[in-house]
Amino acid sequence: MSGDTSYMNKHLWELDQELFTMIQDEKNRQKECLEMIASENYTSLSVMECLGSCLSNKYSEGLPNARYYGGNEFIDKIEILAQKRSLATFSLDASEWGVNVQPYSGSPANFAVYTAVVEPHGRIMGLDLPDGGHLTHGFFTPQKKVSATALFFEPMPYKVDPDTGLIDYDQLAQSARLFKPKVIIAGISCYSRVLDYKRFRQIADECGALLMADMSHVSGLVAAKVIASPFDHCDIVTTTTHKTLRGPRSGVIFFRKGVRQVKPSGEKVMYDLEARINAAVFPSLQGGPHNHQIAGIALCMAQAQTEEFKNYQQQVVKNAQALCTKLQSHGYKISADGTDVHLLLVNLKSVGLSGGKAEFILDEVNIACNKNTVPGDASALNPSGIRLGTPALTTRGLKEHHFSKIADFIDAAVKLGLEIQKKSGPKLVEFKRVAVEDFKDQIEKLKNEVKDFALGFPLPGHDDY
């Protein structure tokens, strides 16, 4: 292609068939697979059009009306629109809340918050990863600081009650009084109950901490008012936009403005989060924002205000609860004994199959999920559970009775996994070898059943890529 500009206006399928075929293969996988990874969803065709637009061409370091480059007249309008719609989606008053729509994704958004309000080696508290928290909430092990959050800041995890699977707020309060963190993070990656933001607020106030919610998983449910909003009690709220919000792969930070507290003397203490968080995003951590993503945010936030979206979020929860009930009827233990949201955590300890083996055999039969720690697990690398989510399949139009059928597929796959394990022994590498060599026919039979079922439901987006 050197010296030849003719490729500049050719379609991908004309120019690079090798790559285009790989993309088509992925599209076919998505069509034929039951996507149950709780953090995944299908975005709309219109959001995809934003992501593939001319906005990818523009550099726009800085904020609207304060850029380091020229030519941003229309980029500014798009970002301001994304800001306004983000506030409106969550019913926020612009005099009380501000928003930054530039984070590249959820993890950079969280790190920007810590950079803004916690000094190096300052203290934070988040839900422990094995108990349902996220890596960016400060995960570390005795051997290694796994997340950069733990490398640059000093985290203390809080835990769930191992018997109930519910957050132990009393223990959190006691630890916070001793640890005195700068920030307490109310957020989850695999926790199936609604968070008690009011209790978090009381605990944060008692130890003088800022309260940050990471609602990345549940922001769609919050927007639709299906579950309680963190904005009533929190100082800072972060979210991704590609999970339950069904937008582009991006991140957003909301922050309080105005009066933080009034001292007994009557003196007002103001929030100072806006300038600090904006400066942490750029120039501290990022360069030019991804304008195509910001346009996608503006669009998905408008879509999240529709009645169709609210009905979708209600169905997401109904489907998760139907899946949960049917799996329990098959004898599976569900962490926290149920779900209020879009996901559930299946504890396979009593079944006798590891999370890694369950994930593998489910993937082999076209059901995508992820292995996940359950309360009490000693290692995140060898977890005892699987996390299942309903947002993506609900986008494809599945209802409660369909998820009852999916529970039967999952049960059949786990039982097949137990048969494989009898022959392979405990090692995962042997389990995989025996599965593909000795159980090929059984796997193929179940896979075809799942495939035929999945193909009955359309995907949004382009037809073949």
Q: Which residues are marked as active site?
A: 190, 242
Residue 308 contacts by C-beta under 8 Å, 6 or more apart in sequence?
none
Angle (nearest 5°) at CA 242 between 391 and 128: 80
Residue 188 contacts by C-beta under 8 Å, 6 or more apart in sequence?
127, 132, 133, 134, 195, 214, 217, 218
* Bridge partners for 368 per DSSP: 35
Measured CA to CA, the distance from residue 300 to residue 305 in angstroms comes to 9
Measured CA to CA, the distance from residue 355 to residue 298 in angstroms comes to 38
Q: What are the Cα distances from residue 28, in Å, to 33, 218, 368, 452, 463?
A: 8, 28, 14, 13, 10
Angle (nearest 5°) at CA 241 between 236 and 245: 110
Helix (H, G, I), strand (E, B) or coil at 272: coil
CB 349 within 8 A of CB 391: no
Instruction: Give the Cβ contact number of residue 304 at 10 Å.
Output: 27
Q: What are the Cα distances from residue 241, in Å, to 141, 231, 254?
A: 29, 17, 13
Measured CA to CA, the distance from residue 294 to residue 82 in angstroms comes to 7
**The two three-digit tokens of residue 224, written as one number:** 């639709």
Output b/e per residue, 255-278; b: 16+ Cβ within 10 A.
bbbeeeeeeeeeeeeebebbebbb
Measured CA to CA, the distance from residue 263 to residue 73 in angstroms comes to 43
| DSSP symbol at 330 | T
Give the DSSP H or E segment for 362.
Answer: helix 355-364
**The two three-digit tokens of residue 116, written as one number:** 């803004």
Instruction: Give the Cβ contact number of residue 289 at 10 Å.
Output: 24
Output b/e per residue, 364-374; b: 16+ Cβ within 10 A.
bbbbbbbbbbb
Q: CA torsion 232→235→240→246, rounded to 10°?
A: 20
